[in-house]
Amino acid sequence: MNPADTKIAFIGLGLMGVPMAKNLLKAGYEVLGFDLSKEVAAKFSDEQKFHFANSPLQAIEGANVTILMLPDSSIIDALLWGADGQVGIADQLVKNSYLLDMSSSSPISSKANNQKLEELGIRFVDAPVSGGVKKAIDGSLAIIVGGKQEHFQEIKPLLEHMGKNITYVGDAGAAHAVKALNNYVSAAGLIAASEALNAATAFGLDPHTVNQVLNASTGRNNTTENKVEAYMLNDAFNSGFSLALMRKDVQIALGFIEGMKCYSSLAKQCVQTAQEADQKLGKGADHTAMYDYVRSQKH
Ligand code: NAD
């Protein structure tokens, strides 16, 4: 999978897609990008090997690897198989090429897509990421991989340009399952930290000091370590990961846990809280604004 004979189609150039595609360009790959928002093309104006396609079908022409970094599975299913007059790209993908879904998608949809793509001679790999925009920029994302072992081995050198901690977890869909579960655990930590800091403040305590104590104690988690000071207590709420996407992730996780017929009491509560916060804060809210939502709730 070296840059000289690999052409990459990259569909979904949002907060994560742009820096990930830039790291592939830096490694010498040719990238044909597509996004519904044409303005993103300007972000690649300095890149010699980047071309902005007019359509997904144009982007995938001759591509041996197609990467998706899109919001959710309903968008991916419509892109692959067509919907509402939109033509699907699945049967136009180059035979034996890779379709790498790096979005945080539903494991159920990914399993189904893998089966249908296999029949078309396409190698599906789910490779969702963790670490946010910062790690997407410096190429140090954690990447979870699902699909055939031999496909993972072939695609790994390419993934190494976008991430550092790359873990193979099982068959197609497995990585999307693990990713959803990770994001559920992370969301639970965010909600718990928001509630704890809000109650501490109401008691007259300094939330900065309380967070220091959490970080020196067993209550520490990714929110207390990396988000509270950087995005929450300063009211910046600009981590680059939206509340709408977090809500989608916890919904996927709950569906998965229930589908496995496992206990889901906290997952249910996280989905409800995420839904209420998303509705109250509206479109464009960052997930760290969960703290703002918690502060605004009166009992
Ligand atoms: P984003 O909303 O910034 O970007 C999504 C992009 O997809 C947008 O530019 C949008 O215009 C484009 N798009 C939507 N529908 C499209 C279509 N049909 N065809 C082409 N383009 C289309 O989202 P993001 O933050 O970059 O996240 C992308 C994925 O990565 C999501 O699944 C998210 O859950 C996951 N993720 C995000 C983060 C983060 O910190 N932002 C971290 C890990 C994983």
The predicted model scores a pTM of 0.94
Is residue 70 located within the same domain as residue 213? Answer: no
Is residue 161 located within the same domain as residue 264? Answer: no
Q: Are 289 and 192 in contact (CB under 8 A)?
A: no
Q: Is 103 in the pocket of ligand 1 (CB under 6 A)?
A: yes
Cα–Cα distances (Å) from 266 to 194, 241, 243, 270, 278, in that order, read: 16, 22, 18, 6, 18
Q: What is the pLDDT of residue 118?
A: 98
Q: What is the pLDDT of residue 1?
A: 83
Is residue 86 located within the same domain as residue 218? Answer: no
CA nearest ligand 1 atom 30, residue: 103
Domain end call among 172, 187, 204: 172
Q: How many domains does the chain have?
A: 2
Is residue 15 located within the same domain as residue 111? Answer: yes
Could you tell me the CATH number of the domain that includes residue 56?
3.40.50.720
Summarize the confidence of residues 118-147 as an average pLDDT. Answer: 97
Is residue 10 located within the same domain as residue 97? Answer: yes
Does residue 84 carry a pLDDT above 90? no
Substitution site in 52, 58, 69 for ligand 1 pocket (most atoms within 8 Å of beta carbon): 69
Is residue 9 located within the same domain as residue 153? Answer: yes
Summarize the confidence of residues 131-153 as an average pLDDT. Answer: 97
Q: Is 17 in the pocket of ligand 1 (CB under 6 A)?
A: yes
Domain end call among 146, 172, 198: 172
Is residue 261 located within the same domain as residue 148? Answer: no
Summarize the confidence of residues 144-152 as an average pLDDT. Answer: 98
Neighbours of 148 (CB within 10 A): 15
Q: Is 237 left (phi over 0), alpha (psi -120 to 50) or beta?
A: left
Domain end call among 153, 172, 191: 172
Q: Are 161 and 27 in contact (CB under 8 A)?
A: yes
Q: Is 102 in the pocket of ligand 1 (CB under 6 A)?
A: no
Is residue 96 located within the same domain as residue 231? Answer: no
Is residue 194 located within the same domain as residue 259? Answer: yes
Amino acid letter, residue 98:
Y
Is residue 14 located within the same domain as residue 145? Answer: yes
Confidence of residue 233 (pLDDT cuts 50, 70, 90): very high
How do residues 198-207 score in pLDDT, each as one tens digit? 999 999 999 9
Domain interval for residue 65: 3-172
